[in-house]
Amino acid sequence: MKRLANIFCVAIMLSIGLGVGTYAQDGWISLFNGKNFDGWKVGENAGSFTIENGTIKVAGPRAHLFYDGPVKNHMFKNFEFKATVMTTPGSNSGIFIHTAFQEGGWPSQGYEVQVNQSHTDYKRTGSLYNVIDVKETYVKDNEWYTEYVKVEGKHITIKINDKVVVDYEESDVDKREGEMKNRFLKTGTFALQAHDPKSVVYYKDIQVKPLTE
């Protein structure tokens, strides 16, 4: 009984540290409850994001939905992240990491991990946008797949359905200019992108596993 009580106390302390309203399984913590946008924040064109059958439906003009919840106080450095995603034909979206909330425009901080199987942009799903661009298409539209990102130190690994498509060590930050000037690893939150009114993309099972910093 004493051992069970100790385990219960540890679980309570862990839940407090991770943030109220989250749950953990094998270290993975859910960031989206499938019911509403609790813990998320959007600036311009908020209507581009809706809840449909337990998923986040992205459809509408440019907008970005930022995680703003209690897990790690929405400030992540080293982590594993994964989401289940489905694109529709001709659609474009993205998952931002190490970014920060903006009322409008394209996020100026962090990296974008591309979501795109058949849009006119040749940079396909899994690309570390404008840094390591993937030209191959590994999944099909109208099919659910897993998009995974790991950041540890200066290293970024991106997997599509468990296949590594990007293995990148950040080393050239001082040479970046223009819109890429502030796109580098530090700390930050996650964001989902609504790219354009013709793009329709779905997200669910959005989870993070914080790693030792």
- pLDDT band (50, 70, 90) for residue 24: low
When divided into structural domains, the chain yields a total of: 1
Q: Is the model more confident about 75 or about 182?
A: 75
Residue 167 within a domain: yes
Report yes or no on 6 lying in a domain. no
Lookup: tokens for 125 = 């799903």
**Is 41 domain-assigned?**
yes
Instruction: Give the CATH number for residue 81.
Output: 2.60.120.560
Cβ–Cβ < 8 Å for 57, 78? no
Q: Where are the beta strands (DSSP E) in the chain?
A: 24-25, 28-30, 40-42, 49-52, 55-59, 63-67, 79-87, 93-99, 111-115, 145-152, 155-160, 163-169, 189-194, 200-210
7 inside domain? no
In sequence order, the β-bridge partners of residue 41 are 66
Percentage of residues of the chain with pLDDT beyond 90? 80
pLDDT per residue over 120-134, tens digit each? 999 999 999 999 999
Is residue 158 in a domain?
yes
Lowest mean pLDDT among 17-26, 37-46, 122-131: 17-26
pLDDT at 20 exceeding the cut of 80 = no
Q: Are 139 and 162 in contact (CB under 8 A)?
A: no
Structural domain boundaries enclosing 161: 22-210
pTM: 0.89
Q: Is residue 3 in some structural domain?
A: no
pLDDT in tens, 134-186: 999 999 999 999 999 999 999 999 999 999 999 999 988 877 788 888 788 99
Q: Is residue 59 part of a domain?
A: yes
Average pLDDT, the chain: 90
Alpha carbon distance 87, 121 (integer Å): 14
